[in-house]
Amino acid sequence: MSPPLRSASGAALSVQNLRHDLKPGDPLLLLPELDVEPGGMLALTGPSGSGKSTLLHLLAGLAQPTQGRILWDGLDLAPLSESARDRWRRERAGFVFQDFHLIPELSPLENVLSTVWFSRFSARPLRGRALELLEDLGVPARSRTALLSRGEQQRVALARALLPQPAALFADEPTASLDAASGAEVARRLRALADEEGRTVIVSSHDPALIALADRRLSLRRGAEAELS
Ligand SMILES: Nc1ncnc2c1ncn2[C@@H]1O[C@H](COP(=O)(O)OP(=O)(O)OP(=O)(O)O)[C@@H](O)[C@H]1O
Ligand SMILES: [Mg+2]
């Protein structure tokens, strides 16, 4: 295994009085309070359209809430400039998008390395780790990404998010395209990232097996206060 690029310690999340409106006066998300400790795993649940992806994007600093505070290790993302939020994300966060956001013409290996092309990390020492992640996840490194199945593409997206060893990992329905066995394996890996490496893991999911592994569940309903259990 290549040496870690970042501290293995996770990040702590604190959300206060979060509200996100689709348009003025039309609230989608209402979340008065939420805390997730380093090494904690939270699952966002709720019907399609309840705001799971939107909340993941807000928590990862990919979008700005209408109101409220989202603090990671005490740093409030909301008032940061876009470039400062980008920097925070590059250094601390990994994101698996619901629709993967892979570049179909590139190989899986190139996709996994693509985020570090734009960061301060040099891609060369990361090649070995990228190959190892793809092998562990059972995806060919050198085919054309466009030729892979959706389930294989989902695992490439996960490998890309894991490459820089993020303190916080966000995964939007990371088992949705996987069969039961690969889904269970991905769920086990996400849990291990929290348990063994102290990372903070936030997933959205409809998958009962993945949801059951989380420490807590945040149930979303459009326009209503989210419920933590
Ligand atoms: N940029 C946007 N502008 C306007 N409406 C949006 C925007 N993004 C999302 N929405 C709306 O917000 C609602 C929540 O969408 P979101 O994608 O967060 O739901 P979800 O819970 O992730 O659903 P799914 O389970 O289908 O992935 C939807 O009604 C969607 O149409
Ligand atoms: Mg979604």
* Per-residue pLDDT reduced to its tens digit, 79-116: 899 999 998 998 899 999 999 999 999 999 999 999 87
Domain coverage including residue 18: 13-100+165-228
Whether 222 maps to a domain, the answer reads yes
Would you put residue 26 in left (φ > 0), alpha (ψ -120 to 50) or beta?
Answer: beta
Measured in Å, residue 48 CA sits from the centre of ligand 2 at: 7
pLDDT of the residue at 122: 65
Q: For the chain, give the mean pLDDT.
A: 91
pLDDT at 8 over 50: no
Is residue 59 in contact with ligand 1, taking CB distance under 6 Å?
no
Q: State the total domains in the chain.
A: 1
Is residue 52 in contact with ligand 1, taking CB distance under 6 Å?
yes
Residue from 170, 210, 217, 198 nearest 60 by CA: 170
Residue whose pair of structure tokens reads 């949801």 in the numeric block: 211
Whether 91 maps to a domain, the answer reads yes
Whether 41 maps to a domain, the answer reads yes
Whether 187 maps to a domain, the answer reads yes
pLDDT digits (tens, 9 = 90+) for 22-33: 999 899 999 999
Whether 194 maps to a domain, the answer reads yes
pLDDT digits (tens, 9 = 90+) for 171-192: 999 999 889 988 998 999 999 9
- Helix, strand, coil share of the chain (percent; to 5): 35, 25, 40
User: Domain containing 33 — which CATH number?
Assistant: 3.40.50.300
Is residue 50 in contact with ligand 1, taking CB distance under 6 Å?
yes
Whether 199 maps to a domain, the answer reads yes
Non-local CB neighbours of 183 within 8 Å, separated by 6+ positions: 175, 207, 209, 210
Are residues 8 and 197 in contact, defined by beta-carbon separation less than 8 angstroms? yes
* Cα 131 to Cα 228: distance, rounded to the nearest angstrom: 38
pTM for this structure? 0.91
Whether 175 maps to a domain, the answer reads yes
Is residue 27 in contact with ligand 1, taking CB distance under 6 Å?
no
Whether 186 maps to a domain, the answer reads yes
Tokens for 83, please give them. 């470039």
Pairing of β 200-204 and β 41-45: parallel
Tell which one of 28, 30, 97, 100 to mutate to probe ligand 1, the residue whose CB is within 8 A of the most ligand atoms: 28
pLDDT of the residue at 10: 66
Measured in Å, residue 150 CA sits from the centre of ligand 2 at: 16
